[in-house]
Amino acid sequence: MCGIIGYVGKSGDAVNIALRGLEQLEYRGYDSAGLVCHGFGSRSKNCRLYKTVGRVENLVKKIGENPQSSCCAIAHTRWATHGVPSVKNAHPHYDCKKEIFLVHNGIIENYEYLKEALQREGHKFVSDTDTEVLTHLIERSKEKYGTLEDAVIDALCYVKGTFALAVISKTEPNKIIASRRSSPLIVGLGKDGYFLASDASALMTHTKKVVYLDDDEVAVLTPESLGFLDLKKNRKNKRVDLIDWDIKTAQKSGFPHFMLKEIHEQPAAIRDSLRGRLIPREAEVKLGGLEVLGDRLKEIERFVIASCGTSYYAGLIGEYIFEKYAGLPVEVDFASEFRYRNPVLNKNTAVLVISQSGETADTLAALRMAKKKGAVALGIVNTVGSSIARETDAGVYNHIGPEIGVASTKAFTSQVAVLALCALFFARLASRQGRGNNLSKAGAGEIIKSLYLLPPQLREVLKSEEHIKRLAKKYNKYNNFLFLGRKFNYPAAMEAALKLKEISYSHAEGYGAGEMKHGPIALIDENFPTIAIVGSPASRVYEKMISNLEEIKARRGPLVAVAEKGDKNISRLADDVIYIPKTQEALNPILAVVPLQLFAYYMAVLRGLDPDKPRNLAKSVTVE
């Protein structure tokens, strides 16, 4: 969840390169920040260390407008796991001699045991973090082996847990040693040097050529060379990949926040997720990323969807969609719970994991467990080359470009759209084998037509922004909200509640409307607003939803409804209505959640909060 950036090369601008990279990575954590750099020229064996509490801008101010020239720097922005946010706990950490400096993302699970052993040997610790153990381990190993490269490799053999790390030493100037285990780390190849980052977004201004490190691999970076080896010191040849993202997608482009930009990008994001995958004449979808499995797909009789956070709610909608169209049994679980169960899996089970970053720690662990149990491992991810993308048997990319805002927006709607594509794909496969719901060609054609209409319909929804801004002003005085929905809209209600609590710090609960009478209705009064996703009047749960709204009004609860355009019943019940275009019931969550993303955004802005960097949160959850 922390951000790592490094540079070594012929440019003397390493400090500025690292600082700009940290700014691109700040969504990964912003409790504290730090940087260490080698001196320049004859002073290269000197190292200068900077640390601050808070955001990267504080580090920039501390370093000043004219930082020292340097050909090598590593830097870090922190999301605290062990030890409160403070200067002493900020990275980089160092050894007893202040010769070895290290930045780290992950959790060292056996750090207490290692720390006690090192303290008995006389090592002095100055922070409360698990990371500092690594610097002292490397210090001990360097006394034994001599070189930084050998010392890092030896030290990592004692470590249990997850890590992405970068290390420099005063005694070996202009050299970075880096390694990873279950935490992302990417090497960039530039014209005048080499880069290191937790995320490709930090490299896009410098290079599109990258190498993805695999677990327990080590990279050795100098201005003139780049090498890779494993923990047994075997040299490795690595493939160079190209990042296909445009740098503009990682910039605000005139919007005040990334979150608002990404909300407005959703028409284009859905278009890109669908592009080349719909075949209207055949009423079919083409998913080459799944077709690579060939006949193995025909053996799938059951799906398990495992994911976290927003992706979990997308998965719940996927459960409804798969069961409706493909007629295949589906269960959905938090990846953080799934991996600690003893799920019954076999070769006829497909475990589908969903992750925007492709690096979510619990989701990656669930994927690996599923593969060990013999299940077919499928993935829906956005980040090309990520760990999940590389470790699944097959999958589908979202193709929406980088999502920088911590609170997910366009990734959620894209995930639901891609799940609809997958459901149609497996519906066709099942019907050819005489299984499933035998979705007709006409029925599939109607869904495909509705998918095509989503981008213009989303543009229409975004035209209601001023109306939603007024609603945010009206309801900003409240600090508790209930979100309700039924069927497909039930998970959408939970996702909308998550958005509001994430960025406005309001207490919000998402509930199935049918469960309201089993507890939540006790909260309803004139000071407890409800936001209801009503759905289509053609839905068989519409009348029941109306009854739920009647119950709220009977208790004088303020009520906002998200309803289909043309619904004449809703205005007599709701205090305020947000209308959305008509679509297939299964796709309604895509249209319904967008105005509620805007509502959450403006609630946060009105409270003077930064929606891109909500407190205590980070974009890519790479620790358990």
The answer to the question of residue 288 being in a domain is yes
On whether both 117 and 232 belong to a single domain, the answer is yes
Query: Which stretches within 322-401 are classed as H helix?
Result: 335-338, 361-372, 387-391
Local structure of residue 267 (DSSP, 8 states): H
pLDDT digits (tens, 9 = 90+) for 448-489: 999 999 999 999 999 999 999 999 999 999 999 999 999 999
Residue 33, pLDDT > 80, answer yes
On whether both 429 and 572 belong to a single domain, the answer is no
Cα separation, 492 vs 510, whole angstroms: 8
pLDDT digits (tens, 9 = 90+) for 192-236: 999 999 988 888 889 999 999 999 999 999 999 999 999 999 999
- State the chain's mean pLDDT as an integer: 92
On whether both 286 and 418 belong to a single domain, the answer is yes
The answer to the question of residue 445 being in a domain is no
Instruction: Work out the percent of the chain whose per-residue pLDDT is above 90.
Output: 77
The answer to the question of residue 491 being in a domain is yes
Whole-number pLDDT of residue 618 = 67
- Asked if 619 is an active-site residue, the reply is yes
Are 612 and 23 a contacting pair, CB within 8 Å? no
Report the DSSP beta bridge partners of residue 404: none
Q: Of 225, 241, 281, nearest to 448 (Cα)?
A: 281
Handedness of CA 362, 365, 83, 2 (dihedral sign): negative
Q: Of 150, 11, 2, nearest to 72 (Cα)?
A: 11
> Do strands 72-78 and 507-512 pair parallel, antiparallel, or not at all (unpaired)?
unpaired
On whether both 542 and 606 belong to a single domain, the answer is yes
- Asked if 37 is an active-site residue, the reply is no
CATH number of the CATH domain containing 384: 3.40.50.10490
> What range does the domain containing 496 cover?
460-615
User: What residue type is 325 in one-letter code?
Assistant: Y
Whole-number pLDDT of residue 621 = 64
pLDDT average, residue stretch 108-137 = 94
On whether both 218 and 273 belong to a single domain, the answer is no
Cα separation, 367 vs 372, whole angstroms: 9
576 exposure class (CB count in 10 Å sphere: 0-12, 13-18, 19+): middle
Coil/strand/helix, residue 428? helix
The answer to the question of residue 620 being in a domain is no
On whether both 322 and 412 belong to a single domain, the answer is yes
On whether both 419 and 502 belong to a single domain, the answer is no
On whether both 526 and 502 belong to a single domain, the answer is yes
Whole-number pLDDT of residue 169 = 96
Domain end call among 198, 216, 243? 243
On whether both 385 and 319 belong to a single domain, the answer is yes
On whether both 137 and 265 belong to a single domain, the answer is no
pLDDT digits (tens, 9 = 90+) for 401-453: 889 899 999 999 999 999 999 999 999 887 777 676 678 888 899 999 999 99
Q: How many domains does the chain fold into?
A: 3
On whether both 555 and 429 belong to a single domain, the answer is no
List for the chain the helix, strand, coil content (%; round to 5): 40, 25, 35
Residue 151, pLDDT > 60, answer yes
Are 82 and 129 a contacting pair, CB within 8 Å? yes
Whole-number pLDDT of residue 44 = 67
Q: Of 161, 164, 166, 163, nearest to 113 (Cα)?
A: 161
On whether both 352 and 484 belong to a single domain, the answer is no
In the numeric block, which tokens belong to residue 592? 């319904």
Domain end call among 439, 468, 483? 439
Domain end call among 243, 278, 309? 243
